[in-house]
Structure 1
Amino acid sequence: MKLFFVLGCVNAFLSVALGAFGAHGLRQRVSPELLITWEKGVDYQMYHALALLLVALCIKTWPEVRRVRTAGLLFFVGIVLFSGSLYVLVLTQVTVLGLITPVGGISFLCGWCLLALCASQFDSRW
């Protein structure tokens, strides 16, 4: 539980910091299209930082369900691959990195499906 709570807090912090960097440090250095790409990475990082906090809560609620931890790992991998690839793409403008982004998106989708499956099996505890 503590791992996912800490990962959620760290990623929320990084999302705010990277958002500020994009707004103040990148605005004059990259095109408006690349700035939108940066912001998309920041948005999805924050959404899934909050998802990691939700996973921590679910682990406390359903400690016997290992799939909740797997969902958390999928969210974290998604942050690294999806948001991380967008950040590197903007900073380097190496467009081939865009091939990694959908893998991160699929990781997010799998994490949400797995978390929903866990909830559907233990809905009486809510």
Structure 2
Amino acid sequence: MNKNLTITSVLGAITIILGAFGAHALKERLGVQELKSFETAVKYQMFHVLVLLFINTTANFTSKIKNQLTLLFLFGILFFSGSIYAITFGVPAKLIWFITPLGGLLFIIGWLKMAFTFYKKQ
């Protein structure tokens, strides 16, 4: 579990760095729509970093469930936010367009798995 929390903490720091980079360095280089997409990626990353903190510090989940949820949300961040970052930095969208919705699907699966786990505990 400490590994999960370490990864989560590093992701949190990276999120802040990317947010500051977007707000300052990219403001002059990107159009309004590109900057908005970048900000969406940063927001989704931060939301899921907070969820990862919750998952890995609560006693409501077994270690197995914590690890499964952590992987779902980590890969969700990587695919969803990561693909938007890649597109922002010049990777042609037509090459990786399918990765963003795959990341979103992993987020949804993670949230539903978490809901199902809570439901089973009732």
Both proteins in one fold, TM over 0.5: yes
d(CA) in 1 for partners of 2:7, 2:55: 10
Give the AA of the match of 1:36: K
> Aligned-pair distance for 1:71?
1.4
Quote the residue 1:63 is aligned against.
62
Q: Which moved more, 1:101-110 or 1:10-19?
A: 10-19
Quote the residue 2:86 is aligned against.
88
d(CA) in 1 for partners of 2:62, 2:79: 27
> Aligned-pair distance for 1:93?
5.0
Query: Do the aligned partners of 2:55 and 2:61 also contact (CA within 8 Å) in 1?
Result: no
Give the aligned CA root-mean-square deviation in angstroms.
1.5
Structure 2 length as normaliser, TM-score? Answer: 0.91
Structure 1 length as normaliser, TM-score? Answer: 0.88
Query: Do the aligned partners of 1:68 and 1:115 also contact (CA within 8 Å) in 2?
Result: no
> Aligned-pair distance for 1:95?
1.4
| Equivalence map 1:41-120=2 (5 Å) | 41-58=41-58, 60-63=59-62, 66-92=64-90, 94-96=92-94, 97-120=96-119
d(CA) in 2 for partners of 1:7, 1:55: 13
Give the AA of the match of 2:15: S
Give the AA of the match of 1:105: G
Secondary structure at 1:26 match in 2 = coil
Secondary structure at 2:25 match in 1 = helix
Structure 2: gaps of 5 or more residues: none
Give the structure with the higher percent helix: 1
Give the AA of the match of 1:69: N
Quote the residue 1:25 is aligned against.
25
Structure 1: gaps of 5 or more residues: none
